[in-house]
Amino acid sequence: MALWREFGLQLRRALPRTSAGEMCLAQSRRYVSHSATPWGTGEVANTYRRGLGLYKGVQTPSQGWKSAQRSFSVSAQAAHGHLTPPKPGEEINVTFIDKDGSEVKLQVAEGDNLLDIAQANDLEMEGACGGSCACSTCHVIIDEPDMFDKMEEPSDDENDMLDLAFGLTETSRLGCQVLMNKDLDGLVVRLPTMTRNLQASDFEQK
Amino acid sequence: MLDRAFVCAQCTARLTRRPIWSKALPFSARRLSSNAAVNRPARVAIVGSGPAGFYAAARLLSKNDDAVVDMYEKLPVPFGLARYGVAPDHPEVKNCEEKFTEVASSPRFNFVGNVDLGNELPLSTLKPHYDAILFSYGASKDKELGIPGEQSTRSVHSARAFVGWYNGLPEHRDLEPDLTSGEDAVVIGQGNVALDVARILLSDVDALRSTDIADYALEKLSKSTIKRVRVVGRRGPLQASFTIKEVRELLQLPSVSFDPIAKDVFPPESVINGLPRAQKRLMQLIAKGSANDPQTSTKSWSLDFLLSPESLHWSPIHPYHLTHAKFSRNELDPSGPFSPSSKVTPKHLSNGKPAMVNLPASVFFRSVGYKSLPLPGLEDLGIHFDSQRGVIANDGFGRIKSLSGAGEPQKLPDGSILTHLPGLYCAGWVKRGPTGVIASTMTDAFTTADTMLQDLASHGTSGSLMHAPQDSSGLGWDGVKPEAERLGLRPTSWQDWQRIDAAERERGQQKGKVRDKFGRVDEMLQVL
């Protein structure tokens, strides 16, 4: 176990996730926005992202070990960051609309939750409580009310946390509580812009 | 031992050199990296290692390719209120520490613990060696009521101290909360800290055993005779600041009943139905109350509204025994009693005298909010601490504003004029006041970090809101360290924390707990 952990850490050092992620993201985004056939781009972006997902997967053994240690906690990030690749023919399509309006199309497997999907693909979504429905940092907005209605009703606990979310809407959910299934194929979720009306970029030197 | 925190400047430069594959950075990323006019990585100090400091560090390190962050902490151990404020029975909230640990694993992050800035090490020592200093040291004190008897140490406690005590904070290790003099606890204040105190007092001790609650606290709580907790507020239900999760938890505690709220102070259904979502759900929950039968429950709690504490009273026979607290009654503005912004006024009897009421209390907690204090030496940097609001004066984006006259006024793109102190920033509770959950602190810290990144991007150009690079040596901790050594300080590195962490977990494992914290700084340092 310790070996796995060490390996994960070393890999992380060798490959500083942030700048790598940023670079890849920017490139794939550009690709998405300039392409005429969205379906094709989705696939390209997806393959590229899967590569990053692999790197994420390396961390899983150590995280699994950690959560085993914390047996007292009901829902401490059990499979956080771990994604099962979808079986051929069983891919479910989901589109994330980032804070800056860019679209990221992904193909995911049944049972994955939106927080894990976003984090495995380096989208800007925080999961401060590790996906245990104890904060509101993975707040997402479901783009179409019809899709929202197809989902199971949010639990009291989830609603309690959503009450604290910034920019709450009628179709808000916590990403960690939305599990993908076939009915949700074609789901479009929006990442809310955070708090203030002004963004720091408003101060950009012109 | 201290290898990480004591990396010399050259090694730092080598460690932070951009890997070959990142040469082809997209334009957007290049713009955010340190300006070419400054031929070295930007060096940032963060004062305080709580959620605000760590979330800001996370943002800075991920958006800037070569900035180096040194995080200073008074205690030998990191995480601030995530470790010492979050209740032990909320382990999932502490999961944010995993993200912080990931941040700390960056080679561009140094932890400098066990250094009490402003007291042991003057702030002015830092200034010459950093491009930017971010203050995120939170709120170290709590507000007082100013009533007679409040200063007694016997049976009268600050909720902040009590929370620190059960969470193993060294500062409050020796608090001796009086939990055995009687059955009635009174908590003044209706925020989440007040509800945390109530929940810990009412919880079955066995439910807390596997958490990281301090051993001595567990011992004391197991002997507690408290059967009834009153959570008292000056205003009405619509003005209470606790959040629904904490109320729900209390209402669901086994064998604990909840006293229904008097109809005359509670908003009627017609008002509740017209409230915004969060408040509506909260009111509906409180109206529904607890399913536990008072007859079969062993403990109970209540929310008491419209009461202002006036004085505390001890037994004439046993002068150490607190007997009751005296309150004056308030009433909501009759013109709109259930408007969320309704003002309260003292209630008077028909004879014109103020209406008073006594509540039995064997132990008394005040929980009317935390308070930030100015760090000694802030004024040497020209920083104005707004004592009225308990925050460092800032522009809302985290740039520290100067007193009039100091610093160069800047015209911002939106046309406003700001007199700011270049290179000085704040985030978290010391920036916006001690309210909100971790999510709010995170967003706030991101806002400040984004502001810093903007300013760093223009570092060295005219009109930059960062001070000129030549004003800083850029050495960071390497420049500060000699002075710390001269003063005989013993800083702890991230590796040191990892050893303390491992020791605490091991001690915990032997006791069937997730962690057994060291209650004293000496004990922490002995592990090293």
Question: In this predicted complex, what is the ipTM?
Answer: 0.85
CA distance B259 to B184: 14
Of the listed ranges A40-54, A104-118, B147-161, B286-300, the one predicted with least confidence: A40-54
Confidence of residue B415 (pLDDT cuts 50, 70, 90): low
What percent of chain B has a predicted confidence (pLDDT) above 90?
Answer: 76
Reported as a single tens digit per residue, the pLDDT across A106-150 is: 999 999 999 999 999 989 899 999 999 999 999 999 999 999 999
Confidence of residue B101 (pLDDT cuts 50, 70, 90): very high
How confident is the model over B287-309, as a mean pLDDT?
96
Confidence of residue A20 (pLDDT cuts 50, 70, 90): very low
CA distance B189 to B207: 25
Does position A50 have pLDDT exceeding 70, yes or no?
Answer: no
CATH superfamily of A92-196: Beta-grasp domain (3.10.20.30)
Instruction: Give which of B439, B323, B71 is closest to A125, Cα–Cα.
Output: B439
How confident is the model over B210-218, as a mean pLDDT?
96
Q: Which residues contact B366 (CB under 8 A, 6 or more apart)?
A: B142, B143, B144, B145, B150, B156, B157, B158, B159, B188, B189
Reported as a single tens digit per residue, the pLDDT across B495-525 is: 999 999 999 999 999 999 999 999 999 999 9
Tell me if B42-140+372-492 shares its fold with B141-369.
no
Does position B12 have pLDDT exceeding 80, yes or no?
Answer: no
In the prediction, which pLDDT does B38 show? 57
In the prediction, which pLDDT does B408 show? 59
Interface contact B514-A204, CB threshold 8 A: no
Reported as a single tens digit per residue, the pLDDT across B29-83 is: 333 444 444 578 899 999 999 999 999 999 999 999 899 999 999 999 999 999 9
Confidence of residue B380 (pLDDT cuts 50, 70, 90): confident
Any CB–CB contact under 8 A between B394 and chain A? Answer: no
In one-letter notation, the amino acid at residue B164 is G
Phi, psi of A141, deg, nearest 5: -115, 125
In the prediction, which pLDDT does B508 show? 96
- Taking only residues 178 to 237 of chain B, the set having a beta carbon closer than 8 angstroms to any beta carbon of chain A reads 210-211
What percent of chain B has a predicted confidence (pLDDT) above 70?
Answer: 89
- The full set of domain ranges for chain A reads 92-196
Which CA distances in Å does B53 have to B72, B295, B297, B330? Answer: 9, 48, 43, 40
In the prediction, which pLDDT does B418 show? 59
Contacts of A135 in chain B (CB under 8 A): 93, 96, 437-439
Predicted model pTM: 0.82
B42-140+372-492: in CATH 3.40.50.360: no
State the architecture of B141-369 in CATH terms.
Answer: 3-Layer(bba) Sandwich (3.50)
Reported as a single tens digit per residue, the pLDDT across B151-171 is: 988 899 999 999 999 999 999
Nearest to B62 among A18, A137, A194 (CB): A18
Interface contact B91-A22, CB threshold 8 A: no
Q: Which residues contact B81 (CB under 8 A, 6 or more apart)?
A: B50, B51, B138
In the prediction, which pLDDT does A136 show? 93
- Taking only residues 51 to 90 of chain B, the set having a beta carbon closer than 8 angstroms to any beta carbon of chain A reads 61-63, 65, 90
Mean pLDDT over all residues of chain B? 89
Nearest to B92 among A20, A129, A205 (CB): A129
Does position A195 have pLDDT exceeding 70, yes or no?
Answer: no
- The full set of domain ranges for chain B reads 42-140+372-492, 141-369
In the prediction, which pLDDT does A204 show? 35
In the prediction, which pLDDT does B463 show? 61
A205 or A123, greater pLDDT: A123
Does position A79 have pLDDT exceeding 50, yes or no?
Answer: no
How confident is the model over A174-190, as a mean pLDDT?
95
CA distance B96 to B78: 12
Q: Which two tokens stand for residue A21?
A: 């992620």
Does position B8 have pLDDT exceeding 70, yes or no?
Answer: no
